[in-house]
Structure formats: structure tokens, C-alpha cells
Structure 1
């Protein structure tokens, strides 16, 4: 996989994550406001943000791919790990673009293989189609911006 393609794949993951967060903002806000540990969760913002991203993306995948409860648990764990690994790679390799891209490619490959194992062949096919569609939309936006 080429470097631009790897970046695009990770960008899709990020856009899905941020899109999910926007889509579920009202639901998330309600949960946070009613939580008695709001001040504790504010102090642990980076971890909470990563967990929220993984949760939101898992919720969307559950809806889109009709995941079973056991699959939801596995997918959420995979996505949580992926988000954490990406965050750590960005911090570790902030000044070394080549190393960052190499690490992001490794993370993406690992995440994809784990998702393939967690999903049925049909679900993984749907996931790939949705991902390609999002990549095309992002490419179209990039070319419009130039």
C-alpha cells in the first residue's frame, strides 16, 4: 500500500470517527452531563476522547453492518487499540514524517486484519465498500479544494 493510500485509509478512519462524534453529539453530551464523574473524566480527556471515538465508530459499524453483541465487543476493542496506537505514534514520531507514515501503515494493516477476523466475510465486504466510498468522497473534496 502506498503512503498516500495509507494516509487516506487512516483519514477515513478519522473522518468516520469525527463524523460519528458529530452524529452522536447530543447523545454523548446527555450522558456526560448526567454522569457524576464529569470532573474526573475531564482530567483524563485524552483517554476519554479515544474511548469515545472508538465507541462512536463501533456504534456506526454496529448499525451499518448489523454486528452481533460479541462482535461489538471485539470491534470496540480493536478500534480502541487502533486509536490509542495512532495517538501514540503521532506523539512519538511528531518530527519524523517517514517514521510516522511507516508506523501508521503498520497500525492500519494490523487493524484491518483484526477487523477481518472479527467480522463475517459479508460484513467485511460491506465495510470495505463503505471505506472505499468514503475515500472517494475525501478525494473529491481534496480535488475541489485545489
Structure 2
């Protein structure tokens, strides 16, 4: 699994904590089942961590403690995640984006590349954090989408 975690300024506070809690849970499941996972922390910059059994919980916690609090530019994160699908360890990986999705549209070339990987069986999933209308969730980019409504603490699957 490849996770793109949004730590931009618009995610500051409770949304970022929720996103990091979800990422921590998924990472712990990967470690427990001895599966490799790739984490991408993004805003306008990005950092990445290949999480393997040799990584300790301390390294994971340190990675999750990083935040950028700048603007949101998902393009480098999604591009990097898609590039990682060429790595043998991640050839069959799914990509999960955890964000408030306050961002522009992706270029058509990248959308076509994503569609190619979707046809090969890679999944693209979105977990939206917040109480906004998420236009990107209706663009065909993601196979499944969930919205965490922070005001009510509920999760809704978007069909």
C-alpha cells in the first residue's frame, strides 16, 4: 500500500490528527502482517518513508510527527506514488490519499496513467477529512471514497 498524507495548512489541527491516526493504524496493520508500505507526507513539499519490518515504531512516529503547513500541491505526491508502482515491491500496491482535497485538478496525462494502473488492478482510494463538498471525489480518479465528517465523527462512503 502507498499512502499520500496531506499535512498542508488547511489540514492543521483536528483534520491532520485524524489523518495521521488513520495512517498510523494502516501502518501498524502492514507491520503486523509483514507487508511493505510506502508513506508520502505532502503539502507543497514531500517526504517519504518505505516502511518495512526493520523500521521501528519510533521511526514511524517520527515520520508522522512531520508537518508542512504550507499550501496544498497533490501533484508531486500522486506522481511519486504512481512512479512507485514501477518498483517490484509496490507493483500490486493500492494508493490511498488522505486529505481535505482543497486542491486543483490533476493533469490529463497523469489521469491517463492512473487509469492505466487501475486497469491493471491497482486501486486508488480517497479518505476525505472535513465538512466540505469534495469535487475530486466525483472526477473518476478514485475507486472508492470515504468522507470523515469531523463535526459529527461519522464516516460516509461515497458511491
Structure of higher CA gyration radius? 1
Of structures 1 and 2, the one with the larger relative CO (CA 8 A, separation 6+) is 1
TM-score by length of 1: 0.29
Structure with bigger helix share is 1
Which structure has greater strand proportion? Answer: 2
